[in-house]
Amino acid sequence: MTAAYPMRRVRRLSTRLRGEYLLQDGRAAAALGLAPLGRKGDNRNSADNREPVTILQTLLTRGHFPKELPPAFFTEQFAKYANTKTGRGMLGGYKPADNYTECVKYQLALPGVHRRELRIPHPASFAHLAALTARHFRRLLKKASRSPFSRSRPVYATDRHRALQPGLKPSNLGRERAAVRAGASFLLKADVSQFYPSLYTHAIGWAIDPKLRDKAHWKNPKILGRKLDQALMDLDGKVSQGIPIGNDISFLLAESVLAQVDAAISVSAGRAFRWFDDYEISFDTRDEAESGMKRLSRELARFRLRLNPAKTRIVQLPKAAEEEWQGLLVQTGGRPIINPRDMVKHFDTAFRLRDQFPDSPVLLYALGVLFGIRCPSPEVGRVAQSCLTQAVLCEPGAAQKGFALLSYWRMNGFPFDGRLISDTINQLILRHEASGLSSDVAWGLAFCLEQSLALNSKAGRVLSVFDDDCIALQALHMSSVGLLPKGFSTAHISKALKNADVDREHWLIAYEAVRQGFLRDSEHSVTSNPLFSDLMAHRVTFYRTKLPSYAGVVHPGGAPDWVVRKWMDISIRPDRAEARMPVGAAIPKLIKDDLARLKSSPSTDDEAVAGLLDLLGDDFIADLDDMIYPL
């Protein structure tokens, strides 16, 4: 077995070891936006006691698939495979057809008429990009941290759900907006038009290595910016216009570009605020605001970006820092909901506010407030179910929260109306047939699989032709367990799989249909490909067919994050957990019992959640003696 490298207390950020950085010192890490391995005072999480966790391993485990996918989709097994000598050798020598791969597309539903196209990167290309990022992580993180006023500055952590997260919690955005307006009379509100889809991969090279603007350096393969430019193009069809949304490396590199813009526009850091691609900058006079907008537009143009004229304007202060609907829902949700009249009042307020703010996640927020009810009475629950189904059908993007709430109540003894919920999911699928939105349908199917709810023949026919890898995979899974008894046909999927190329945009369904035994039409494509045949031989999967019934509750975006974290304390710090438990949201017995069944004691909240989601799964075949770094 490869010897474990001893962790030493050092004051520098990291030690170079086999081309990767090992996170070692929390204080030095904080200086570059890195979170320490453990929490203060927890000896089990200290750098001296914890086995080394590489940045590459973290990026592959927690930064590959978009966080918006249901919990059945995961990359932990692939990350472990990539950490073996066999996997590292296979990935290092793999050459896709025509030297490029394509991403799987996934349409994320957003409130109003908006949508966002997420992309699921091919494992080989993402592993190459992640290895390149890991080797130069200190430099890239420093570039992304250069902005004097970005609130979405990437913070790296090995003990969170994502490898990289914004430095500010979204719940604190109102506070920051209000603070930067102090003493000002005018506010520039600006938005970068189609930021990710229009971000030129060459512009990322310019941000990392400005000398790439000089034609003499364009083809220099040793320059990091040039390597990243090429790796991004190879990741998604050799296209230089746009980068895939959803993975953490895209987030890091996008921030690196806008950080250079922020540093160049010469505004007071105390009066400026950026959250991803949205700017708010305060000024004393309108002329100063006009001048600031021109500078911002000019610096963005240097990276071939432009402002969105529909969302860019100068307004006179004072203005509210938060939308009115949030405060009103907090007021109604803060009161106890004891009887049906209270529930009616809560949703009446939410529905009225939704009419006023159709592009805001009003109903999603209103559903989240109801996690404060452990188990509603039958009459309160009857009203809640009626309003919840209306909300899920009305507001795109609310399905995940609504179904997670039902799962939570079901765990605590509430018998929800299975026929009503099945009919709602049937309608949800039919409504999204024309729009092609993936996410709400995916969460509906995930809930059906979780709660063993069958769908009708109309929904089955729509799912037969839904052109989305994630939906097709879930539909095949439902069919295999008898939850699509009528209307569903595999003919369309089989026809697509017969010509599938595992290096192109349907790599996920082509591999997993064979891996899970759903269909064999793409078997030749899988077995004739050196990488995917080896993944198959090691039983690596990107899709879980077995999950606990509370998976949607503990998965990010289900129950409120602060509630889940307090639940997980039962396994991390049992001596203090009961005292920290949220009032009215005691840990469900099923989750508490399963935490006691975990194979190993988790060190962090996110490790506990990951352990719960893996509790029913099968381990992939890998010789632990083959591991490059111990896990």
Residues 435 and 467: their CA atoms lie apart, in Å, by: 11
pLDDT for the residue 558: 93
491 and 557 belong to one structural domain: no
- One domain for residues 497 and 440: yes
Q: Would the CA dihedral through 321, 326, 330, 332 be positive or negative?
A: positive
**What angle is formed at CA 245 by the lines to CA 241 and CA 249, rounded to 5 degrees?**
95
Q: What are 150's strand-pairing partners?
A: 274
pLDDT surpassing 90 at residue 585: no
Question: Which pLDDT score, from 0 to 100, does residue 484 have?
Answer: 96
Closest CA to 60 of 16, 116, 125, 106: 125
What does 120-149 look like in DSSP terms, one character per residue? E--HHHHHHHHHHHHHTHHHHHHHHT--SS
Q: Are residues 501 and 578 in the same domain?
A: no
Q: How many domains does the chain have?
A: 2
Q: Is residue 411 in some structural domain?
A: yes
Domain assignment present for 292 = no
Q: Tell me: pLDDT of 31 over 60.
A: no
Neighbours of 339 (CB within 10 A): 13
Cβ neighbours, 10 Å, residue 570 = 18
The two three-digit tokens of residue 188, written as one number: 């520039």
> What pLDDT is stored for residue 575 in this prediction?
65
Is the same domain home to 468 and 353? Answer: yes
Is the pLDDT at 190 greater than 70, yes or no? yes
Q: Which of 125, 267, 250 is nearest to 195 (CA)?
A: 250
pLDDT band, very low/low/confident/very high, at 324 (cuts 50, 70, 90): confident
The pLDDT > 90 percentage for the chain reads: 72
Q: CA 97: distance to chain centroid?
A: 29
- Within a domain: 475: yes
Residues 562 and 515 both lie in one domain: no
Give the predicted TM-score (pTM) of the model: 0.89
Output the pLDDT for position 54.
85
What DSSP string runs through 524-575?
HHHHTSHHHHHHHHTT--SB-S---TTHHHHSTTSS-HHHHHHHHHHHH-HH
The residue assigned the tokens 């003990």 is 159
Q: What is the pLDDT of residue 1?
A: 36
Confidence of residue 432 (pLDDT cuts 50, 70, 90): confident
Same domain, 486 and 597: no
Domain of residue 580 covers: 551-615
Q: How far apart are CA 102 and CA 501, in angstroms?
A: 10
Q: Check if the beta carbon of residue 496 is closer than 8 Å to that of residue 92.
A: no
One-letter amino acid of 190: A
Among 251-260, 408-417, 432-441, 483-492, name the one with the lowest average pLDDT.
432-441
325 to 170, 394, 455: CA distances (angstroms): 16, 17, 35
Same domain, 507 and 570: no
Express each pLDDT in 276-286 by its tens digit: 999 999 999 99
Mean pLDDT of 245-262: 98
Mean pLDDT of 540-560: 93
Based on the fold, state whether residues 611 and 504 are members of the same structural domain: no
Do 457 and 589 lie in a common domain? no
What percentage of the chain carries pLDDT values higher than 70? 87
End position of a domain, from candidates 505, 523, 541: 523
Given a cut of 90, whether residue 45 has pLDDT beyond it is: no
Residue 479 lies in a domain: yes
CA 81 vs. chain centroid, Å, equals 22
Last residue within a domain, chosen from 485, 503, 523: 523
The two structure tokens encoding residue 35: 């979170």
Dump pLDDT digits (tens) for 343-368. 999 999 999 999 999 999 999 999 99
The identity of residue 464, as a single letter, is S
Exposed, middle or buried by CB within 10 Å (0-12, 13-18, 19+), for 413?
Answer: exposed
What own/partner pairs with CB < 8 Å and gap ≥ 24 does 163-170 have? 163/55, 163/58, 163/59, 163/61, 163/62, 163/63, 163/248, 164/63, 164/248, 164/251, 164/252, 166/275, 166/276, 167/33, 168/275
20 located within any domain: no
Average pLDDT over residues 238-252: 97
Which H or E run includes 295?
A: helix 286-301
Give yes or no: residues 344 and 476 share one domain.
yes
399 and 350 housed in the same domain: yes
Q: What is the pLDDT of residues 84-135, one digit of tens each?
A: 999 999 999 999 999 999 999 999 999 987 889 999 999 999 999 999 999 9
pLDDT higher than 60, residue 47? no
Question: Is 332 inside any structural domain?
Answer: yes
Distance separating alpha carbons of residues 613 and 620, to the nearest angstrom: 15
Same domain, 398 and 357: yes
Note the residue count of the chain: 631
Per-residue confidence (pLDDT) for residue 581, from 0 to 100: 59
DSSP percent split of the chain into helix, strand, coil, nearest 5: 50, 10, 40
User: Given this model, what pLDDT does residue 586 score?
Assistant: 73
Residue 42 domain-assigned?
no
- As given in the structure block, the two tokens for residue 70 are 């249901």
CA dihedral 35, 39, 43, 48 (to 10 degrees): 0
Residue 577 has pLDDT above 50, yes or no: yes
Q: What is the pLDDT of residue 219?
A: 83
If pLDDT is split at 50, 70 and 90, which confidence band does 579 have? low
Last residue of some domain: 523, 541, 562?
A: 523
Domain presence at residue 313: no
